[in-house]
Amino acid sequence: MEELKMSVATLGEDVFIRLSKMLDNSTCGWRQLAKATSEHPNFRCSEKELTSCSLQVLSAAGSPARTLLARLADRSCSLDFLLHCLRKIGHQEAVQFLTTMVSERIQIRMQPQSQQATLGSRVVLTCRASGPPGLTYQWFRGKEEILDEAGRSPELVLCPLGPAHQGHYICRINHGENCIFSQWANVRLIRSTGSSPGCSSTLFPGSVSGLQIICQPQSQAVSEGDTLVLKCTTEANPPAQYEWYHNSVPVPQHKTCLLKIPCVTTAHRGEYKCKVFNLYHEVWSDTATICIGPSSITEASWVEVDRGLDSQEVHRSTSGLGIYPLQQMACPPPSAKNFYATDKVALLIGNMNYLYHTQLSAPIADVHELANLLRQMDFKVVSLLDLNWQEMHSAVTEFLLLLDKGVYGLLYFAGHGYENYGNSFMVPIDAPYSYTSEHCLCVQNILTRMQEKETGLNVFLLDMCRKRNLNDDIIVQPGLLKVTANIVFGYATCADAEAYEVKREDVSNGIFINFLKRRVCVDEKVTVMLDKVAEDMGRCQITRGRQALELRSNLSERRSLTDRIQTADCSASYSARNLQWAVAHVLPVSHYLQFDCGVKVQLGFAAEFSNIMVIYSRILGKPKEIVSCSAQLTDFPMDVDIDLKKTNQETLLEAGSLLLIQDNLPSSEDPSLYTRIRSLQRLRSELTFTVCLHYTYSNMDDEIQERQAVTVGKPLVSKLNLHEPRPSRACSASSSLSVDSFNVLDCSSFAEGCTSVGSASNTWPYFAQTASASSTTDSPTSSRSANIPEENDTLEFFDTPQPLVASKSLPHSQVNDTRYKFSDMYNFNSY
């Protein structure tokens, strides 16, 4: 049976409890099972581990058998091997129970696939499952159940196809009280005379399409040494041929619908797609992103892996034993979750380039990593690097503007910090050498201001040191905290200890984010998720004794960062927050410059962070008599931070960007020059610069120059004027900067940008969705988009509900991909 090849970790909590009771005995129990499993070296328990299991009897609820089963689950023991060992020790009761439970598991064998078809045609969505007898099927379109007979069959037939059939479909398979959901399938209408991705126009009478992809390759994450399998199947007449591509490069040895690579390595990570063609048609499959990670997080050496959660990764239930597919948890039925957010917003600050203190390296990668993951969970994210005292204060004030009743608020800080008398302080980059609380921001003061907004969840993730500041004898008295039972503090290290980062040649990573990223998107109570992160850090020998996560919380409800957003009761304030947030994320539109010599130049813009932008210049056309030309940018204002040695570079890496991925920017046969602009929050007026065109004619040796001045307004966060002081106020006073005040444009920092927010939809697809969705009801899942830099004049709508998947992060094709280790303490740099 295929089910027996699955991991023990896929068993539910109730199964583990019953199995543990059967094995908690001395005659035919867990010790005999441990001896039987030791025939496989991966599952052999040391004397120390066996002692740890036996000590569980000292606890009232402790179970040695359960601890042993948890170890087997962590080591990916298969159900088949567990049954083999149970038979070996002669435990017939456990064998019969486990065999019965496996036979009653519901497994989806065929998932419904998204389809595109013409008006009046016939579309069939198929979902087939195996399991115990008596399985029943229920089909849903969005959150509405299809109540006729067609909605009770494994095959949902839509015929004749009409506009009312367009939308997202999902199937629920039931057996008694157990149920499982399929993946989402999108049905779309297309014009009969055109073509669209995955479906070509028809040349065959009576056929919807002469060539149609019916099974797309799926994104996934695998460990080094695993076998990678991608599948692309079609319906075609004449029969189709296949060509696979890896990162746009043909894979010549694979010419069938199945791409199978045994024993993958990090060289196989990247994007895969398949070109399908026959005599009359040619179509391309969807792109499948493949992440390659290490086989275990508990290895003694620290190994860099692709940052993010994989779409096929499994995660543990509250007990740490039951594991369920993440994709199914990401799209629960409407009744499966009791809690929701009216909105979700996050402020991420990373301080690196301190004026009077040790320079840090990890915050740039850590903020970028966490921003990607939070956006997948529908958070509105503002990510800022290197803020001084005034800018941090202003950024927090603007962050508070995004909060309202029921909103989930998350604040992440990476940089220098300290803790005095139970209060945590974030250190700005301009703090003097002997700084005190007067030069820093008190996190507890921010919490009191967040509580005034009646937020649904307050999460603080502090990736900084918590050592005592001997220069500061002031005892700060924050405002009185309310008993709201919705506060969570996740400290990267415990009290009076330091937080660390590991340095590499090009990039660095903080320890906290390296463990947090594996869990943050899991659909479970946020405190449970952070507990799992702490356990992961505790199992790593390198961090043991140096850094341990500390969790402080009074959260009384099962609230998760993945909770859905429900806006029906507050659509006005939700729309206002959309507008507020979008103001800080407006990129300039593409500029097209025509020079007197006949050369045409394009200027494009991409966001690396909310206060860091990359400008690229490209030659679109030139007269034949001009043999060489380039468009270089110069004369930038003094407000912004630009490394002149890295301007007008041919690659993003040379321009200083380790996070943007050049492949995701528009490609062209003509090369582009890249310039990276930092500290946009300090821009006091419109961004102006000069485009200097250098060109040479074929019959001349001398180079000629032409110059054009360009003004692009105030991009991204510069529109918020964070360099300006905000109105002072007591912690206990009512906030004068509320959503209501913004609705009447009473806030000058936002009013300035309201007229130009429309262009934000060209840059941030999320805003294009939420603005139109503010007055609609929720579907069982919400749209999610990854933080992939894109050209600002390309409008892209993500209209398909997406599972929580890893978003592309560090450009491994551009930085050294070798493994690195914490070889000794010199690799650590304290925050």
List the catalytic residues: 416, 465
Cβ atoms of 750 and 397 within 8 Å: the answer is no
112: left (phi over 0), alpha (psi -120 to 50) or beta: beta
Residue 160 C-beta-side C-alpha neighbours within 13 Å: 5
- Eight-class DSSP state of 109: E
Q: Which two tokens stand for residue 684?
A: 């006091």
Burial of 27 by CB count in 10 Å (0-12 exposed, 13-18 middle, 19+ buried)?
exposed
Question: Residue 188's closest CA among 810, 797, 707, 723?
Answer: 797
Task: Give the Cα separation of 489 and 458 in Å (integer).
Answer: 8
Closest by CA to 456, choosing from 347, 568, 561, is 561
Cα–Cα dist 348/101, whole Å: 45
**Shortest CA distance to 532 belongs to which of 552, 516, 556?**
516
The string of DSSP letters for 435-501 reads --GGGSEEHHHHHHHHHTTT-SEEEEEEES-----TT------PPPPP--S-EEEEESS-TT---EE
Residues in a beta bridge with 321: none
Query: Burial level of 177, CB count in 10 A (0-12/13-18/19+)?
Result: exposed
Residue 126, strand partner residues: 155
Find how far residue 602's CA is from the centre of its chain: 31
Alpha-carbon Rg of the chain, whole angstroms? Answer: 28
* Helix/strand/coil for 737: coil
User: Terminus-to-terminus CA distance in the chain, angstroms?
Assistant: 52
| Sign of the torsion formed by the C-alpha atoms of 535, 541, 543 and 548 | positive
Confirm if 43 and 35 have CB atoms less than 8 A apart.
no
Cβ contacts of residue 815 below 8 Å, gap of 6+? 504, 505, 506, 507, 653, 658
C-alpha dist (Å) from residue 78 to 5, 93, 102, 283: 6, 19, 12, 40
The CA distance from 410 to 295, in Å, is 31
Which single residue is written with the structure tokens 């046969």?
669
Instruction: Annotate 324-376 with three-state secondary structure.
Output: EEHHHHHCCCCCCCCCCECEEEEEEEECCCCCCCCCCCCHHHHHHHHHHHHHH
DSSP character at residue 51: H
Read off the amino acid at residue 632. Q
Q: Which two tokens stand for residue 128?
A: 């087939």
**Torsion sign across C-alpha atoms 708, 713, 716, 717:** positive
Q: Which helix (H) or strand (E) holds 743?
A: helix 739-743
Cα 304 to Cα 130, 371, 464: the distances in Å are: 39, 19, 21
Per-residue b or e along 48-85, where b marks 16 or more CB atoms closer than 10 Å to that residue's CB: eebeebeebeeeeeebbbbbbbbbbbbbebbbebbbbb
CA nearest neighbour of 346 among 412, 397, 405: 412
Type of residue at 691: V
